[in-house]
Each structure stands twice: as C-alpha cells, then as structure tokens.
Amino acid sequence: MIYDAVIVGKGPAGITCAIYLKRYGYNVLVIGKDGGALEGASLIENYYGIKQISGKDLVKFGIEQAISLGIEVLTDEVINIDKEVNFKVTTARGLYEGKTLVLACGTSRNRYPLADKYEGVSYCATCDGFFYRKKRIALIGNSLYMLHELEVLANMCKDITVFTDGLELEVKLPEGVKVVSDKIINVDGDTHIKAIVTKSGRYEIDGCFIARGKASGFTLAKHLGLGLSDNALRVDDKLMTNISGLFACGDVTGGLLQVSKAVGEGANCAKSISDYLKNK
C-alpha cells in the first residue's frame, strides 16, 4: 500500500499533522520509536486549555486520539529513508511507502560533541563512506542503527573498528569486524581526527562515523541530503524541505522548542501537504 503521507514521529507535531491529514481525507501512517521529548517532561503547565498534565499523559492522549480517528500509529524505529518516485521508509521491522514524507522526529540528542570539532567525523555512511576507502575507520555505536551504517561502510572500507563506548552490543556483527567495548575516554586529533582513546588503549584512525543510539532526525536528514542550519532542518514557509514532497514540523525545525509550536506546525504542515497532493 502506498500512503499519501508517512509521518516519522508520534509526538505532538507528528500526531497533529496526522489528525489534520486524516480529516482532510488522506491515508496516513505514523511511525514513532518512543514518546519523544515529552517522556522526560514531568509536568506541563503552559499548554492551552490544560492546567497541568504530565508529558507522558499528553503523548498518550494524543496517540489515543489519532487511533480513535482510524489513523495507523506504529511503534518502530526508522533507520533509513530513500527518495525514488515515492519515499521508501525502512524501519527495524518493515518497509513503507508514502507519496509525501513528514519528519516530525524532534531534536537530535545523539550528537557526539567529543568528536564534532574535528574534520573526518561523519554522521552518514552513505554520504561519506566513499572518502574512506582503504582507510582505518572507527564506527561509534552499539545498536541496529549502527549495524545499518556498518553494512553501508563494509561495501567500501576494509578496516573498520566498532566502538560501543561501554555499552552492550545489541546486534550480532558480521565476522571479522573488530569491536572495542570499553568506554571512550578521549578523542584525539589536530584539525583532523586521529585517534580514539579508551581504557584499553589508543586506536589510530583516519575517519570516524557516529551512529550512537537510534537514528535521529538529524541523521535521517543527513542521509537524505537535507539542508540544515544550527542542527535544525531548513524548511520554507510551507514547511517543505529542499526535497519536493518532504516536509518537517515541530522541534526538528528548530526555534521555540515547545508543544504549542509543534502542534501549530503539525497543523500547518498538513495543510501544505494537502495543497501539494492536490497540485500533483
């Protein structure tokens, strides 16, 4: 089945966008891996019409509202998005297709500031793996998302070491991949990254790929070649990114990181998608 819109994110932005689209008559799929930023918000007291509510309840009620309108809401992790004629969305458990795509996936929280200041550090194996053919590569991560990046890199690079940074490996690695599983103490370099230092030693490298935790809006956007500024997705006044048919709303577009802004953008985004689909 091809959806009119696949929405990544089941927080206030994604769910609001889905509710408006559904009521405009479109078929929508929402995919979210968890409760997003609101999971950590113990008390919300500044959202219109509600004196006090916990973040967890606000997310739960929004999702329940969407489901009651007949919207499909999946709990799953999106690990890759490709744009062909439509958008192909790969998750940990399936593959979905949408005529339009909405990134409502919140702010990215898995940046790695220790390495960010150096050249030779990448968040996208597909974009940058090619530059490190025959070089020594560090890949930092322990999850399914890391495995996806590893599979991309393994086609191009021969010398890859996975650094789990003290975390347990959540996936089985292909044979022959080196793993360092103790905590990273330091990342060394001049302007270019040169080494990863852990308790067990110093590992000289030529490049480093970051795939910590789960795929974030930031990493998905890098894969797609989307415009970013200050770690936020660049969108036009219709909330469309530089890729036609790909929209974004909520925290992922930066600015005021609040529920009211996420909800407002979700609604506007739905209107823009409706106009876009009608014009196609």
Ligand X SMILES: Cc1cc2nc3c(=O)[nH]c(=O)nc-3n(C[C@H](O)[C@H](O)[C@H](O)COP(=O)(O)OP(=O)(O)OC[C@H]3O[C@@H](n4cnc5c(N)ncnc54)[C@H](O)[C@@H]3O)c2cc1C
Q: 182 φ, ψ to 5°?
A: -90, 170
Which residue in this structure is represented by tokens 């110093």?
Answer: 202
Nearer to ligand X, 67 or 197 (CB): 67
Sign of CA dihedral 47, 53, 56, 58: negative
Q: Does residue 222 touch ligand X according to CB under 6 A? A: no
| Length, in residues, of the chain | 280
Q: Which of 24, 41, 53, 97 binds ligand X (CB under 6 A)?
A: 41
Extract the tokens encoding 204. Answer: 């000289």
Q: What tokens does 208 get?
A: 């480093």
Question: Between β-strands 207-210 and 136-140, what pairing exists: parallel, antiparallel or unpaired?
Answer: parallel
Interaction of residue 262 with ligand X, rule CB under 6 A = yes
Instruction: Assess 13 for contact with ligand X (CB under 6 A).
Output: yes
For position 270 contacting ligand X by CB under 6 A, the verdict is no
Say whether 207 sits in a helix, a strand or coil.
strand
- Residue among 153 and 259 whose Cβ is closer to ligand X: 259
CB atoms within 10 A of CB 133: 11
Measured in degrees and rounded to the nearest 5, phi and psi for residue 216 equal -105, 175
Alpha carbons 3 and 100: distance in angstroms, whole number = 8
With CB under 6 A as the contact rule, the residue among 5, 9, 149, 274 that binds ligand X is 9
Q: Which among 39, 50, 26 has a CA at the least distance from the CA of 277? A: 26
- Residue 73, interface with ligand X (CB under 6 A)? no
As measured in angstroms, the least distance from the Cβ of 247 to ligand X is 13
When asked if residue 147 is in the footprint of ligand X (CB under 6 A), the reply is: no
Number of residues that bind ligand X (CB under 6 A): 36
**Cβ closer to ligand X: 2 or 256?**
256
**Which of 126, 142, 143, 216 contacts ligand X by CB under 6 A?**
216
**Which two structure tokens, joined as six digits, stand for 277?**
């689909």
Q: Could you tell me the smallest distance in angstroms from the CB atom of residue 134 to ligand X? A: 31
Position among 7, 37, 150, 211 found at the interface with ligand X (CB under 6 A): 37
Q: Which of 7, 29, 62, 77 binds ligand X (CB under 6 A)?
A: 77
- Indicate the SS3 state at residue 267: helix
Q: Provide Rg for the chain, Cα atoms.
A: 20
Closest CA to 29 of 93, 75, 92: 75
Site string for ligand X, 97-136 (x = CB under 6 A): -------xxx------------------------------
CB of 19 to ligand X, least distance (A): 13
CB of 41 or CB of 267, closer to ligand X: 41
Q: Which residues bind ligand X (CB under 6 A)?
A: 8-14, 31-34, 36-38, 40-41, 44, 46-47, 77-78, 104-106, 214-217, 250-252, 257-260, 262
